[in-house]
């Protein structure tokens, strides 16, 4: 790099001198009062929260009532820097706004526009012209950027492009910026080539307008902007393709590079090589606008959500260094001949450095300096005095749509407030020696980092280097196997007093004490008992990153194989069974192998499951190919499904270890588990069931869904490749209905894992009433949108949730419930329609397809939903059959869906969405809960009170706030529903308790104590124990006491505290337990102590339990139960069973203490909606509390435009 800086100290002195001069000269220019006021406000401790709250909470909402409530909330944060009259106005306005929003809010919005209006231009014709003329008076050139609504569909994209075209056509406009993501909606990097072609097609007329103006001697300039890392390759490809068109050869145009990306120098070098060739062919030069980057917060969000490395540098100094690195490499006469430079930024040290370097190298005429409108105007004027002219980046917005500027404004506000940013010191730099030296030192350090670099120094490597084609060639397999299969040091069992552990636990703590291995352990000691919270040694598998060219090429190769794919055909043919004897023999063989497998320690089972996870990862391409070929999954849907399957392997491997070390209970594995998965997730769900059963020590027979047999077969083949014996894991395809019945009802089968319709669960139980069945069934899921929501975000999430995988996810949004004014919101409906109608429907081998085919031609209730309207319903978007196969359908949206209607209550499993209206949140929640199912539910609201109400009352297992309601991730959002969406124990797949339901439990009373005290227990539990003491002998009392202590430990460590074990920051993923009504049946064969032990667990869990006992409970115990409003009925076994058969159960859960579980199943008629726990009573709190609690996973978007929010912190 032609000696980047031979003497950093000397250069620092030169730059410092120039910066001091500019600061002195800037004092001679009048300070913009609005800018100074805003800077002062942001220095207040509450300044940023106040201003962002005002911008996002008062400017954004359409509903004036919402804006009024938000103003009342931010008014107490009013910074003291504001003039007294403004402070008073804000506080009075805050007090009056909730009652009189129609008066207060328009005034408040005008005040805010006055505070931040200097950062944007008014787009109205009568004001835009004069504003442009005024800004140009001082010699500035303007780069206009039209702001608009979020681009969710082609209508808004066309509107944005049309507006930019009209700007550029004006005589007083000669420079505009536009992003590829604002020209074409819903860009997918999987269809990179097609996206390039489409963007080029859309942009060409704009560039032709600029070229025509150039030919007339009135040059106009177009800058191709970018924000997201994912758009880097796309933007460069679009830029080069546009300018390679013969008619645009003589057009000079520009592109942006962000130097907080390590990729920036490599990109600059490639652009320069291309531009030099263009110049050699007689073409015009290009310009590269060099910026540090302004999307840092959202890049962190993107990385955290996808488990990818952050694309940007990790430190501000590294970003500053790279900024200079790119400028130094570029600033040579040879390179600037083809690539002019735009030095964009307000850091005076960087600007001075760039100016001095440009002059030294004789390229100052090829460098343009750029700043932002309204920022540090005095300093900008001083710089302009030296460099001759500034280009001002000038956002333009219509005042009636001022809220669309929120993202831009919040970014600017964050920059002005952040101590890492030069702008935080801009008004004090001249007078505050400490701040000046801080910036000077930052400059010097970044310069020193470049001291040894030359032109021969390789460009920095990107942070993201994932390459699916070569990842198994770089030693990953060996490294992973070495890590996963590391020999385990011996497990030590500390004989620690239970009481001391209980007394050492603070209510609400994470419970980091090690109780017989129940505490959290480090990954290097993953052989030790895993804790009940986060899973040591587990990390989620990253999805494939299509922003990277190598991965896109890998994906293209997969799609090319899809039309002729034969994967899985041979395996499923070989698995065919048409004979009862053959099926019986297979079941017996797998059962025998399962019995031996179950005797192996959890650590051994874990090692094999880890190998299975690696095998699934190595077969990612084959699994995607077969899913696309057989079920029509797009690559964007199939790739995360493979990641989920891999996660199941590694997660259940680690959870298997815990089963061996549950204090007070011994896990007894099932010998044979049958897995019957669905077709809609043909790899992840089958893999999850198989891997969970294997982890729990069972042999497995899997029968894939008839419409997804090949996909299941390829998955099983991968597990066989990992070393899982075929006799332990069998793949079957039974040829007739009776064989299918035998497969699930055979007495050789200990357990069935089902994912499918609730009616299938009923069918299975009709075959065998006492069948141990663990099932995830149907869902009729709704998203509530309140007036406080970000309506653009809500529309986007509703469409993605409703139509992803053609609506064929059990978690898909089938309904959206619009609360209050949202029902009349033109913007929400416009965005909803635009997003839905812009989704591209096609076959999966086409990379452009966002919505693939439905699994088979529409028929029955789905065809009805796609073609028939109910009373008072209308099509907002009418679905269309797109070809003669009957499988390709465009999305449909119907309005006017009424509560209790057929569409409201029926699951359809296809690309159709119903819109409902509710007058308030209470009515919306009632509509959301009115269905028989409770799988997923969503809420879009930025009101903490609404969130609290919803979280307290919604009836679903997986809750999503301000995000889509599909795409649950293992451990992060364990998946499973409430009500008829779950059958059996209700433990969530990919959660900490799932393996507990895949076997039985026996009590372990090996640990005893000589103590009788009850210290550390909850009062409601000690009351029970004390009331029962006279009725128990010493050993029985000790069992009850130690059981209660075990409950207390389990409560503190697992059940009693909502936890976010993933700790992403940008998204809160809270796992919690809610008390559930349970009938405790104490049978004639039960002992009193066992009954009391179970009642103690119910009391601690605060379950609204009822007790049916064949025994007379002690008088004191009866009094305790009465005081806790627990109903107690004394009845014999025959009477209770007769009542169960006649009237049904009083609750959906039964904890059977003693008695005959088969007789209970018969009395219930095998009903799937009733779960029965019948294992022997154990002293383990980890086991015995589970029947009284149901799991709930809550995923909450925890940022606004990438910046942290406290929206949910006080709620959960």
Sign of torsion over alpha carbons 796, 798, 799, 803: positive
Of the candidate CATH numbers 3.30.50.10, 3.40.605.10, 3.40.640.10, 3.80.30.20, the domain formed by 530-774 belongs to 3.40.605.10
Half-sphere exposure of residue 371, counting CA atoms within 13 Å on the CB side? 24
Q: What is the mean pLDDT of residues 1188-1201?
A: 96
**Bridge partners, 917 (sequence order):** 818
Same-fold call for 781-980 versus 1005-1194? no
Identify which of 1173, 1122, 1118, 1169 has the alpha carbon closest to the alpha carbon of residue 1147.
Answer: 1169
Question: What's the confidence (pLDDT) of residue 505?
Answer: 37
Identify which of 1023, 987, 1163, 1169 has the alpha carbon closest to the alpha carbon of residue 1081.
Answer: 1163
Two tokens, residue 802: 């409703």
Query: What share of the chain in percent tops pLDDT 90?
Result: 76
pLDDT, one tens digit per residue, over 638-690 is 999 999 999 999 999 999 999 999 999 999 999 999 999 999 999 999 999 99
In this structure, are residues 1062 and 1089 in contact, taking their beta carbons and an 8 Å threshold?
A: no
Could you identify the residue written with the tokens 């050699």?
280
Burial class for 1006, CB neighbours closer than 10 Å (0-12, 13-18, 19+): exposed
pLDDT, one tens digit per residue, over 103-118 is 888 888 888 777 777 7
The pLDDT of residue 490 is above 50: no
CA separation, residue 782 to residues 963, 1045, 1158, 1195 (Å): 13, 41, 37, 15
Question: What's the confidence (pLDDT) of residue 3?
Answer: 52
**Bridge partners, 391 (sequence order):** 141, 370
Backbone angles phi, psi at 295, to 5 degrees: -120, 25
Identify which of 759, 674, 741 has the alpha carbon closest to the alpha carbon of residue 998.
Answer: 674
Question: What's the confidence (pLDDT) of residue 493?
Answer: 29
Give the number of other CB atoms < 10 A from CB of residue 542.
16
In this structure, are residues 837 and 875 in contact, taking their beta carbons and an 8 Å threshold?
A: no
CA separation, residue 968 to residues 80, 243, 540, 600, 957 (Å): 45, 43, 12, 31, 12
Identify which of 339, 377, 352 has the alpha carbon closest to the alpha carbon of residue 255.
Answer: 339
Question: What's the confidence (pLDDT) of residue 503?
Answer: 44
Q: Alpha helix locations (H) across 229-340? A: 232-243, 264-280, 296-306, 316-330, 333-336
Question: What's the confidence (pLDDT) of residue 419?
Answer: 67
CA separation, residue 35 to residues 42, 146, 378, 427, 1182 (Å): 11, 22, 11, 9, 59
Strand 121-122 with 390-397, pairing: parallel
Residue-averaged pLDDT of the chain: 91
Q: What is the mean pLDDT of residues 1037-1049?
A: 94
Backbone angles phi, psi at 734, to 5 degrees: -85, 140
The pLDDT of residue 420 is above 90: no
The pLDDT of residue 488 is above 70: no
Two tokens, residue 54: 């005002």
Could you identify the residue written with the tokens 């043909």?
682
Superfamily of domain covering 1005-1194: Aldehyde Dehydrogenase; Chain A, domain 1 (3.40.605.10)
Quote the DSSP letter at residue 897.
P
CATH 3.40.309.10 describes domain 781-980: yes
In this structure, are residues 961 and 947 in contact, taking their beta carbons and an 8 Å threshold?
A: yes
Question: What's the confidence (pLDDT) of residue 1009?
Answer: 55
Q: How far apart are CA 791 and CA 822, in angstroms?
A: 8
pLDDT band, very low/low/confident/very high, at 481 (cuts 50, 70, 90): low
pLDDT, one tens digit per residue, over 930-988 is 999 999 999 999 999 999 999 999 999 999 999 999 999 999 999 999 999 999 998 99
Domain boundaries in the chain?
A: 530-774, 781-980, 1005-1194
**Bridge partners, 1108 (sequence order):** 1081, 1129
Two tokens, residue 52: 């962002």
What residues contact 478, with CB distance under 8 A and at least 6 apart?
none
In this structure, are residues 928 and 784 in contact, taking their beta carbons and an 8 Å threshold?
A: yes
Name the helix (H) or strand (E) containing 673: strand 672-676
pLDDT band, very low/low/confident/very high, at 368 (cuts 50, 70, 90): very high
Identify which of 843, 602, 587 has the alpha carbon closest to the alpha carbon of residue 730.
Answer: 587
CA separation, residue 1023 to residues 287, 760, 996, 1119 (Å): 79, 45, 30, 10
Q: How far apart are CA 121 and CA 374, in angstroms?
A: 10
Strand 813-819 with 912-918, pairing: parallel
What residues contact 1138, with CB distance under 8 A and at least 6 apart?
1163
The pLDDT of residue 238 is above 50: yes
Q: What is the mean pLDDT of residues 571-595?
A: 97
Catalytic residues: 776, 810
Using alpha carbons only, how large is the chain's radius of gyration in Å?
A: 33
Two tokens, residue 410: 């919040």
Name the helix (H) or strand (E) containing 560: helix 549-561
CA separation, residue 1068 to residues 56, 300, 960, 1194 (Å): 21, 15, 10, 8
Q: How far apart are CA 228 and CA 301, in angstroms?
A: 11
């Amino acid at each position: 790099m032609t000696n980047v800086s031979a003497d950093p100290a000397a250069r620092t002195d030169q730059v410092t001198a120039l910066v001091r001069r500019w600061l002195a000269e800037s004092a001679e220019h009048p300070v913009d009062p609005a800018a100074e006021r805003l800077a002062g406000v942001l220095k207040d401790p509450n300044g940023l929260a106040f201003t962002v709250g005002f911008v996002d909470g008062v400017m954004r909402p359409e509903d004036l009532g919402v804006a009024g409530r938000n103003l009342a909330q931010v008014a107490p944060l009013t910074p003291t820097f504001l003039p007294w009259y403004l402070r008073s106005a804000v506080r009075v306005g805050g007090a009056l706004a909730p009652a009189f929003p129609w008066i207060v809010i328009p005034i408040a919005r005008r005040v805010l526009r006055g505070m931040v209006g200097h950062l944007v231009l008014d787009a109205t014709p009568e004001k835009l012209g004069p504003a442009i003329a005024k800004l140009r008076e001082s010699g500035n050139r303007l780069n206009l950027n039209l702001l608009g609504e979020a681009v969710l569909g082609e209508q808004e994209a066309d509107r944005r492009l049309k507006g930019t075209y009209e700007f550029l056509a004006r005589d007083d406009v000669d420079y505009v910026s536009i992003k590829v993501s604002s020209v074409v909606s819903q860009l997918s990097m999987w269809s990179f080539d097609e996206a390039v072609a489409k963007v080029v097609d859309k942009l060409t007329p704009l560039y032709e307008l600029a070229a025509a103006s150039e030919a007339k001697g009135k040059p106009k300039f177009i800058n191709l902007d970018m924000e997201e890392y994912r758009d880097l390759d796309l933007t460069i490809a679009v830029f080069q393709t546009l300018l390679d068109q013969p008619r645009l050869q003589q057009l000079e145009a520009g592109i942006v590079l962000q130097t907080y990306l390590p990729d920036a120098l490599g990109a600059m070098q490639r652009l320069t090589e291309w531009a030099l060739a263009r110049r050699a062919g007689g073409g015009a030069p290009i310009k590269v606008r060099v910026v540090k980057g302004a999307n840092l917060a959202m890049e962190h969000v993107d990385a955290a959500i996808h488990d990818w490395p952050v694309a940007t540098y990790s430190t501000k100094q590294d970003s500053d260094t790279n900024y200079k690195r790119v400028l130094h490499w570029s600033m040579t006469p040879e390179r600037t001949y083809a690539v002019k430079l735009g030095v964009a930024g307000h850091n005076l040290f960087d600007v001075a450095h760039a100016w001095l370097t440009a002059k030294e190298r004789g390229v100052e005429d090829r460098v343009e300096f750029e700043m932002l409108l309204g920022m540090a105007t005095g300093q900008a004027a001083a710089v302009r005095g030296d460099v001759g002219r500034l280009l001002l980046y000038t956002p333009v917005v219509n005042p009636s749509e001022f809220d669309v500027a929120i993202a831009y404004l919040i970014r600017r506000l964050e920059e002005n407030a952040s101590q890492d940013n030069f702008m935080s010191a801009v008004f004090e730099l001249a007078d505050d020696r400490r701040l000046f030296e801080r910036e000077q030192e930052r400059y010097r350090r970044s310069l020193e980092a470049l001291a040894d670099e030359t032109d021969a120094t390789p460009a920095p490597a990107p942070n993201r280097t994932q390459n699916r084609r070569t990842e198994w060639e770089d030693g990953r397999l060996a490294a992973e196997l070495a890590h996963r299969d590391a020999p385990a040091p011996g497990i030590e069992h500390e004989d620690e007093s239970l009481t001391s552990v209980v007394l050492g636990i603070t209510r609400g703590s994470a419970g980091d004490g090690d109780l017989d291995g129940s505490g959290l352990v480090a990954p290097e000691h993953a052989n030790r008992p895993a804790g009940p919270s986060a899973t040591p040694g587990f990390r989620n598998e990253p999805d494939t990153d299509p922003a990277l060219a190598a991965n896109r090429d890998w994906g293209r190769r997969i799609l090319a194989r899809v039309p002729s794919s034969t994967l899985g055909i041979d395996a499923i043919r070989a698995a065919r069974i048409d004979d009862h004897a053959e099926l019986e023999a297979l079941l017996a063989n797998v059962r025998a192998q399962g019995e031996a497998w179950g005797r192996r320690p959890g650590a051994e089972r874990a090692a094999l499951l880890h190998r299975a996870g690696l095998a699934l990862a190595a077969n990612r391409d084959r699994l995607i190919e077969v899913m696309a070929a057989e079920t029509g999954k797009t690559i964007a849907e199939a790739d995360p499904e493979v990641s989920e399957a891999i996660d199941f392997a590694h997660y259940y491997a680690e959870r298997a270890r815990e089963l061996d070390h549950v204090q007070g209970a011994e896990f007894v594995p099932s010998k044979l588990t049958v897995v019957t998965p669905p077709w809609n997730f043909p790899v992840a769900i089958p893999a999850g069931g198989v891997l969970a059963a294997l982890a729990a020590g069972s042999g497995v027979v899997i029968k894939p869904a008839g419409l997804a047999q090949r996909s299941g077969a390829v998955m099983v083949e991968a597990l066989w490749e990992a070393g899982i014996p075929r006799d332990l894991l069998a793949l079957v395809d039974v040829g007739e209905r009776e064989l299918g019945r035998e497969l699930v009802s055979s007495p050789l089968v200990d357990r069935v894992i089902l994912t499918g319709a609730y009616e299938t669960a009923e069918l299975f139980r009709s075959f065998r009433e006492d069948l141990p069945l663990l099932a995830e069934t149907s869902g009729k899921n709704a998203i509530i949108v309140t007036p406080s929501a970000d309506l653009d975000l809500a529309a986007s999430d509703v469409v993605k949730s409703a139509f992803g995988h053609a609506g064929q996810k059990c978690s898909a949004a089938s309904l959206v419930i619009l609360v209050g004014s949202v029902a009349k919101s033109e913007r929400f409906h416009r965005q909803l329609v635009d997003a839905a109608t812009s989704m591209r429907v096609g076959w999966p081998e086409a990379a452009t397809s966002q919505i693939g085919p439905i699994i088979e031609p529409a028929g029955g209730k789905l065809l009805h939903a796609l073609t028939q309207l109910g009373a008072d319903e209308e099509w907002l978007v009418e679905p269309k059959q797109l070809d003669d196969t009957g499988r390709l359908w465009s999305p449909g949206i119907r309005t006017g869906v009424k509560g209790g209607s057929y569409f409201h209550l029926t699951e359809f499993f296809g690309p159709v969405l119903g819109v409902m209206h509710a007058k308030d949140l209470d009515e919306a929640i009632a509509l959301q809960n009115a269905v028989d199912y409770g799988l997923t539910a969503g809420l879009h609201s930025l009101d903490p009170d609404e969130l609290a109400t919803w979280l307290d009352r919604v009836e679903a297992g997986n809750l999503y706030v301000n995000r889509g309601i599909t795409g649950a991730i293992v451990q992060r959002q364990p998946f499973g529903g409430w009500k008829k969406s779950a059958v059996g124990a209700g433990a969530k797949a990919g959660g900490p308790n799932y393996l507990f339901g895949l076997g039985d439990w026996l009590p372990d009373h090996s640990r005893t104590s000589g103590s009788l005290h009850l210290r550390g227990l909850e009062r409601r539990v000690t009351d029970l124990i004390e009331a029962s003491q006279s009725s128990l002998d010493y050993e029985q009392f000790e069992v009850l006491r130690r059981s209660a202590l075990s409950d207390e430990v389990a409560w503190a460590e697992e059940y009693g505290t909502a936890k976010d074990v993933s700790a992403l920051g940008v998204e809160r993923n809270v796992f919690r337990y809610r008390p559930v009504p349970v009938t405790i049946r104490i049978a004639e064969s039960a002992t009193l102590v066992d009954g009391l032990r179970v009642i103690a667990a119910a009391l601690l869990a605060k379950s609204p339990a009822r007790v049916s006992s064949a025994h007379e409970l002690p008088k004191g115990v009866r009094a305790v139960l009465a005081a806790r409003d627990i109903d107690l009925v004394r009845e014999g076994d025959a009477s209770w069973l007769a009542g169960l058969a006649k009237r049904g159960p009083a609750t959906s859960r039964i904890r059977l203490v003693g008695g005959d579980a088969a007789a209970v199943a018969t009395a219930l008629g095998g009903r799937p909606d009733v779960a029965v726990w019948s294992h022997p009573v154990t002293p383990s709190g980890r086991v015995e509390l589970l029947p009284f609690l149901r799991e709930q996973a809550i995923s909450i978007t925890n940022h606004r435009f990438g910046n942290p929010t406290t929206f949910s912190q006080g709620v959960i």
